[in-house]
Structure 1
């Protein structure tokens, strides 16, 4: 009857109604153990079945948390016949994850897209309701994928409802239904419905008080009590937590069963696959009678029919936890013997590990094999668990330490940074040989990077690099590059950290085989940090050109060091102001990341591409890329997203948004004792305030960034400093900044460098010299294709011309600038141009009604892709949505734009239509 749950039932009923109406719905049913989540999910399941929905049920099981995609397998198994409708990459990812086919480990995001598409395909035939109970016990891979899917259900007739005690981070931000305890009158009514004998009023009050409205407690606590105890004198142990008291009630009922039945219950609890044939094969191993399950079924505690089920997850937990260790080992041994080594070797190895008495090298070897298979399926968490268990069973101390390192490496790959750190510390006990000691230091550094402890990471990587020099010069140099790049990317030059890393790199042994990208990068960057830009520019330029020209294979791209090479090479291009190389490298890295299905790398390079679009004056395009980045930001930290949004807001003149993100990044930089993010924040602040004509504030921000001397930031921020300082009446500072630009342009004369030097020279000059500088700047930036900076050059030239009282010439430059800045959405700078034109007597309207404010970022991105000829299926693959959701957004786009077909998008999205 679900006493007192009218509101909750109504909310669940609305989920079913929405799914029937063709809409996606997600809900997290949250509450303490026994509060009634499962009963509510049962109600949902019953309602969905009665109205004709397809019902799929999943239950997280604590002992399966280490098995890769175990929960996802439960969900997808009834729907796998729809896999034929999936795009080949999705279909392959799903089959590989489930071990149905071999292949490289599938990317977690492609598995997520495959599950989303699978549910969408199934929903096309009949509305689907998926019920996931005990989400807190799902394996990590399944939880991440289902969280991914949950955020993308919109226009698909699919409902996804979770039951969880405390939802994991994967479900953060999703709609929740909080299930609390019953009111006292409802609790008394429920308690009375469960009683078979009179109950003393004082005992009833005590039970209600102790249960705190928890329905399962109200139903289970009186079970197994004698009539005398129910009549009076009964007291509950107040020191036990509620879940413990419920388990205690289950145990009283369990102890009333015959010994063979209790052992069968323990056997079933030890393997929650629910496979009755496996349970009965194991029961035969233990000599249990065929009718051993009947007393449990008669008591309503368990069902041993077509699927082994316990009345409640807490009952399963109580049965397993109450057994002595020898009893657990015995049932695990029986289950291992009953598991087919050819069909399910990993489950067999896991049971053997649980049955082991003491150390056992043979089982450890089996677990290592299972770890390899789990990793091949993309089950990184499972691989880590197998490695860790193998290490704990290893008798030889040296081999145990080696396996602990392997487990730590697997934990790191799985994203379990704290667990990886603990395993590294355990491995440190050793004994380790010299090479393993070096590997341990490298792992410490990589773990520290993941934990945001960048300075600690650099020191550990430097230590590892020095140790590795005697064993593996190539890996040592790669580690030196990781240390040096991380000082450039995050730490900065304070306290000589960067110089120390550079000196260590220069002291490292020479590369055995010259010409590797790693070595070119390492040598040129180290020279930059020890001898300065002018000395290192030729070496950096040569390294950059070789990086652009090199042929990259997929094997290279999948190595950890390649990620560092890619990031360092793009920073090198920015440091050299070689934006043509930056564009080429970014495009190649996006292509490679897509080919190897590495979404984390793809996001990083797309954020680089978005910044490139900002400099080209394509702010709307950059915004759409950042919108796509946000759609897939499950595995990367928030830092890159904050930076992207901050730069975009600064160029748009959105002071509220930019200011908020600048504060966030500045606080993060201080909390982590890093210079680089703070430098980026000041760069954005300088751009924002220059756009709004607040030059003293712009000067202060730009000066802070300039003084930090962050690698690759100078070419961006120093032009801001020259403009701000010259306008704020600080010619000395402006002169220092221009001399910096002049040196760069003389040794690395790219169009950007020369154009920015000329613009700075014009700001500090008078008469013909100033005019020559402005014209040269416009010519160079136009040739380079950087529309945003070109528009600003026209603006500065127009402002100068007006002050020279050359009103006609000024109008030409200012109109050009205002038109360019308005189309691109650079509102702050456009307003500067508008005010200048107003001073010349021209009335110019502010930008209004543009598509960027009509469509949401996601709608705009989908519209642009559709305009460019991509099908709904292709757009879905790019944005990790279902094709039905893409169609839903396109219908809204058509309505907002007043069009009726994809053919009309090209006109509706053109700048002239704005």
Structure 2
């Protein structure tokens, strides 16, 4: 038999060097990667690496190797393992990790100390911001690494409680240059979908190569094998190291010499569980009971296991035989030889014995804790209202600690144990709502699937329908997304005459979802919802509540002239801002629509800041992600790509922590911001914006497509292509999608006027004037004055003084807002108008001001346009002896504009453009437009 010489290194497992042969055979590549990873951490950098592989393939041994390498390099090692039974305990794994770090909580900032205290149930306080808990974990890691680098080794990542997974994912993305490393071992395919660690570096851990697997089996057996038999063993186990070590000794002599056929492929997990179960069944009954308690408790706490075992009349000595068999090790913590051993113990026990073990653990924990409720739920069979109520109360405690995922799981179990009747249905709906809030819509959908929603009635049916609409909205299925507003109307009908407040809530939700699907909605539209709102409100007595004011404002905006709707918009805005942070978060989506329609940028900004702060305080990831994204959109709509870009990055960070997929991240992009920012490759940017819009439409979120069309309008105007901008802007206005149709008006006026659609430009400007007169805000007045200037300048015999006054009025109003980019556009348009009137000296003043503002906010396309205009005004020139006019023509030609387009943008005749371009080619020594860009980049300078 010929074998490849291997570098064989014996590594002691967690159970001790005498456990047997556990070798890094065939793991040269993985070992080298891990050694390089540890070296990076030892050198003071921060890094994360995930090991992915099937159970028993050798991930834990690689973690052990990392621990040895780290110790040799002076890196402190902290270990953590996921525990199945902690799924319903909020932040259980984070608490264990912080305990292992031994970082004094007093060394952390006060707000982080408070967040941890509340999260762990140690102090009273408002539900902590989940990100503050994440920041506290990162801060603790940094403190721990202050004296020496720290390597965190996390095994069975898939079994961390969901709240801890989110927090660890948050911290893992923020290690940077910290001397902190996280090596995470996870079962491949066990995560059930996107998660907070998606996108981090992955090291796959496959089965061992053939020669390494054979060498391992022969070392275990102490004998050589014939090649055909060795090959069959390797094939049957898939090279799984644990299977080779554990199962090879159990093969019969006939199998080892080929007398009996081996299976083609073992199912490793179940096969190993059966193998361990045979060994477990040979143990004394009291030992089996002790092991079952340890498996049920799950957290490795010897005190808890001893206490629970004592409840069942089993003493500490019962663990001895299992230790002798090396199935467990008992020390500071109880460790099973492998998670499959614990799984075999638990699965091999009878259902009655499992429940007895959980009840014993619950008794040992004592009433009043979340753990007690969780294990009590696991110990209960059938239905039990008392236990269901205990779980429900524990869910509320978990929410109070910021553990939204734990709350959802506790409520689900509560619903399962509730006797048939209205309360059971309500708890199922509670659980679905909780999963949605926690950012697990798929689980929410599964929970709702257990309900006969269509057979329910009254308020219960209404709640179930609202929960269904929330799940449908994020389902990714276009037909469900488009139908979600109509489902909200169904809910409103179910609440009608039963619960007026809930009816209003359903109508408000319908408005919010229509803002997402817009003209793609199936079964309803803005006008239908507006009429349904007025029908619901007009028959009620007394003053409107806040939600009633908000939906009434939407109905007024949809059905009435703006002058009549404006007072309702102001009342709703004032009431919302006067209601405090919680209301700002609760009604943020409709509040943004109302304040945007009121052209009140200050009120909208305050609303979003309050809503974001409240979402951080309560730890609601879904709301926080949404608020940061919406705030980014509104900042972009004001021409603030600098602010919008920063907010978008924050939103994406939250999305990654939530585990949102790249597709969802693309949908929650900001194409308007990208248009303002520009790109080195304009064609690629246009393709990116178009792709974002197409994706939004494909998943039913037509509002995302509208944003992309609006972004193209902005980009076309920045590039001096008003004819291209006109069509989409006109279409967006015609669709009348609530406030969106008004937001596009300033762009429409500019595009229509420059493209020669004078009547449409005048009509849009008149609408802006009416809005400004009714809203009385600086933002609306600034837009209206600019529109008036653009329209008046096109009229025969226009009064230059009136046009100039309109531009000055626009700048004065916009300077009092946060719309920096829009102020710069007013200065740009004013400068362009002056240059075309041959008032070049005055034009340069405005163009330089515009250019400075555009550069400050990072608006590259508009800055390029201002720079071209400045050149054309004589304020800037290119090298190579070009005149200002020649430089302007050259810039546009290099950017791909045709001669007719250049003539239109610079107000020149085509003959003049041809003449200038010939002179440019001659002076710069080029023969075509393709060479212009490179030459201009080398020669251009500012005077």
Check the 8 A contact 2:640/2:857 in 1, yes or no: yes
Q: Please list the CA deviations of residues 887-910 of structure 1 after superposition, one character each: whole Å capped at 9, or x if unmatched.
A: xxxxxxxxxxxxxxxxxxxxxxxx
The residue that corresponds to 1:680 in the other structure is 707
Give the one of 372, 376, 380 matched to 1:348.
372
Q: Would you say 1:768 and 2:798 are equivalent positions?
A: yes
Give the one of 241, 245, 266 matched to 2:292.
266
5 Å matches for 1:230-245? 230-238=256-264, 240-245=266-271
Give the one of 489, 495, 498 matched to 1:462.
489
What is the alpha-carbon distance in structure 1 between the residues aligned to residue 873 and residue 151 of structure 2?
65
Q: Would you say 1:540 and 2:569 are equivalent positions?
A: yes
Q: Would you say 1:519 and 2:548 are equivalent positions?
A: yes
5 Å matches for 1:714-753? 714-750=741-777, 751-753=781-783
Residue 221 of structure 1 aligns to a residue whose secondary structure is helix
Q: Would you say 1:647 and 2:669 are equivalent positions?
A: no
Give the one of 318, 329, 335 matched to 2:344.
318
Question: Is 68-77 or 417-426 further displaced after alignment?
Answer: 417-426
The residue that corresponds to 1:781 in the other structure is 811
What is the alpha-carbon distance in structure 1 between the residues aligned to residue 521 and residue 789 of structure 2?
30
Check the 8 A contact 1:686/1:698 in 2, yes or no: yes
What is the alpha-carbon distance in structure 1 between the residues aligned to residue 623 and residue 785 of structure 2?
32
Question: Is 792-801 or 231-240 further displaced after alignment?
Answer: 231-240
User: How far off its partner does 1:94 sit?
Assistant: 1.1
Give the one of 805, 813, 828 matched to 1:795.
828
Check the 8 A contact 1:738/1:757 in 2, yes or no: yes
The residue that corresponds to 2:105 in the other structure is 83
Residue 125 of structure 1 aligns to a residue whose secondary structure is coil
What is the alpha-carbon distance in structure 1 between the residues aligned to residue 849 and residue 763 of structure 2?
31
What is the alpha-carbon distance in structure 2 between the residues aligned to residue 615 and residue 430 of structure 1?
42
The residue that corresponds to 2:862 in the other structure is 829
The residue that corresponds to 1:903 in the other structure is none
The residue that corresponds to 2:425 in the other structure is 401
The residue that corresponds to 1:160 in the other structure is 182
Give the one of 729, 740, 749 matched to 1:702.
729
What is the alpha-carbon distance in structure 2 between the residues aligned to residue 211 and residue 641 of structure 1?
41
Residue 143 of structure 1 aligns to a residue whose secondary structure is helix
User: How far off its partner does 1:635 sit?
Assistant: 4.1
What is the alpha-carbon distance in structure 1 between the residues aligned to residue 290 and residue 599 of structure 2?
72
Question: Is 229-238 or 73-82 further displaced after alignment?
Answer: 229-238
Give the one of 315, 325, 329 matched to 2:355.
329
**Change over 3 Å in CA distance of 1:675–1:408 after alignment to 2:** closer
Residue 155 of structure 1 aligns to a residue whose secondary structure is coil
The residue that corresponds to 1:416 in the other structure is 440
Give the one of 417, 421, 439 matched to 2:463.
439
User: How far off its partner does 1:493 sit?
Assistant: 8.2
Check the 8 A contact 2:128/2:617 in 1, yes or no: no
Residue 250 of structure 2 aligns to a residue whose secondary structure is coil
Q: Please list the CA deviations of residues 206-235 of structure 1 after superposition, one character each: whole Å capped at 9, or x if unmatched.
A: 111212222112111113344454444343
User: How far off its partner does 1:831 sit?
Assistant: 2.7
Q: Would you say 1:620 and 2:642 are equivalent positions?
A: yes
The residue that corresponds to 2:66 in the other structure is 44
Residue 182 of structure 2 aligns to a residue whose secondary structure is strand
- Number of residue pairs matched? 839
The residue that corresponds to 1:909 in the other structure is none
What is the alpha-carbon distance in structure 1 between the residues aligned to residue 580 and residue 84 of structure 2?
41
What is the alpha-carbon distance in structure 2 between the residues aligned to residue 597 and residue 246 of structure 1?
41
Structure 1 spans left out of the alignment, 5+ residues: 847-912
Q: Would you say 1:121 and 2:143 are equivalent positions?
A: yes
- RMSD of Structure 2 on Structure 1 (CA): 3.2
Residue 160 of structure 1 aligns to a residue whose secondary structure is strand
Check the 8 A contact 1:799/1:810 in 2, yes or no: yes
5 Å matches for 1:602-617? 610=632
5 Å matches for 1:150-189? 150-166=172-188, 169-189=195-215
Q: Would you say 1:690 and 2:717 are equivalent positions?
A: yes
**Change over 3 Å in CA distance of 1:836–1:48 after alignment to 2:** closer
Relative to the length of structure 2, the TM-score reads 0.82
**Change over 3 Å in CA distance of 1:787–1:199 after alignment to 2:** closer
5 Å matches for 1:760-909? 760-769=790-799, 772-785=802-815, 786-844=819-877
The residue that corresponds to 2:915 in the other structure is none
What is the alpha-carbon distance in structure 1 between the residues aligned to residue 300 and residue 424 of structure 2?
34
User: How far off its partner does 1:374 sit?
Assistant: 2.0
Question: Is 265-274 or 732-741 further displaced after alignment?
Answer: 732-741
What is the alpha-carbon distance in structure 2 between the residues aligned to residue 812 and residue 492 of structure 1?
44
The residue that corresponds to 2:691 in the other structure is 664
The residue that corresponds to 1:247 in the other structure is 273
Check the 8 A contact 1:62/1:138 in 2, yes or no: yes
What is the alpha-carbon distance in structure 1 between the residues aligned to residue 318 and residue 757 of structure 2?
91
**Change over 3 Å in CA distance of 1:229–1:710 after alignment to 2:** same
The residue that corresponds to 1:871 in the other structure is none
Check the 8 A contact 2:150/2:181 in 1, yes or no: yes
The residue that corresponds to 2:155 in the other structure is 133
User: How far off its partner does 1:597 sit?
Assistant: 6.2
User: How far off its partner does 1:802 sit?
Assistant: 3.4
User: How far off its partner does 1:588 sit?
Assistant: 4.7
Question: Is 659-668 or 29-38 further displaced after alignment?
Answer: 659-668
Residue 426 of structure 1 aligns to a residue whose secondary structure is coil
Q: Please list the CA deviations of residues 717-749 of structure 1 after superposition, one character each: whole Å capped at 9, or x if unmatched.
A: 222222223323333443443343344344445
What is the alpha-carbon distance in structure 2 between the residues aligned to residue 241 and residue 380 of structure 1?
36
Q: Would you say 1:211 and 2:233 are equivalent positions?
A: no
Check the 8 A contact 2:495/2:503 in 1, yes or no: yes
What is the alpha-carbon distance in structure 2 between the residues aligned to residue 136 and residue 816 of structure 1?
56
Question: Is 309-318 or 736-745 further displaced after alignment?
Answer: 736-745
Residue 203 of structure 1 aligns to a residue whose secondary structure is helix
Give the one of 404, 407, 411 matched to 1:387.
411
Give the one of 558, 580, 586 matched to 1:529.
558
Check the 8 A contact 1:649/1:657 in 2, yes or no: no
Relative to the length of structure 1, the TM-score reads 0.84
Q: Would you say 1:98 and 2:120 are equivalent positions?
A: yes
What is the alpha-carbon distance in structure 1 between the residues aligned to residue 272 and residue 614 of structure 2?
54
Q: Please list the CA deviations of residues 137-171 of structure 1 after superposition, one character each: whole Å capped at 9, or x if unmatched.
A: 11111111111100000121211110012365211
**Change over 3 Å in CA distance of 1:611–1:229 after alignment to 2:** closer
Check the 8 A contact 1:679/1:708 in 2, yes or no: no
Check the 8 A contact 1:761/1:770 in 2, yes or no: no
Check the 8 A contact 1:24/1:158 in 2, yes or no: yes
What is the alpha-carbon distance in structure 2 between the residues aligned to residue 81 and residue 834 of structure 1?
56
What is the alpha-carbon distance in structure 1 between the residues aligned to residue 127 and residue 63 of structure 2?
34
What is the alpha-carbon distance in structure 2 between the residues aligned to residue 641 and residue 542 of structure 1?
36
Q: Would you say 1:759 and 2:792 are equivalent positions?
A: no
Residue 26 of structure 1 aligns to a residue whose secondary structure is strand
Question: Is 178-187 or 837-846 further displaced after alignment?
Answer: 837-846
What is the alpha-carbon distance in structure 1 between the residues aligned to residue 400 and residue 186 of structure 2?
30
Q: Please list the CA deviations of residues 576-633 of structure 1 after superposition, one character each: whole Å capped at 9, or x if unmatched.
A: 3233433444455455556666676566555555556556665434434444444433
User: How far off its partner does 1:311 sit?
Assistant: 0.9
User: How far off its partner does 1:203 sit?
Assistant: 2.9
What is the alpha-carbon distance in structure 1 between the residues aligned to residue 150 and residue 636 of structure 2?
42
The residue that corresponds to 1:879 in the other structure is none
What is the alpha-carbon distance in structure 2 between the residues aligned to residue 663 and residue 845 of structure 1?
34
Give the one of 144, 147, 155 matched to 2:169.
147
What is the alpha-carbon distance in structure 2 between the residues aligned to residue 722 and residue 524 of structure 1?
26
Give the one of 321, 325, 342 matched to 1:299.
325
5 Å matches for 1:561-600? 562-590=584-612
What is the alpha-carbon distance in structure 2 between the residues aligned to residue 592 and residue 169 of structure 1?
24
Residue 293 of structure 1 aligns to a residue whose secondary structure is helix
Residue 104 of structure 1 aligns to a residue whose secondary structure is coil
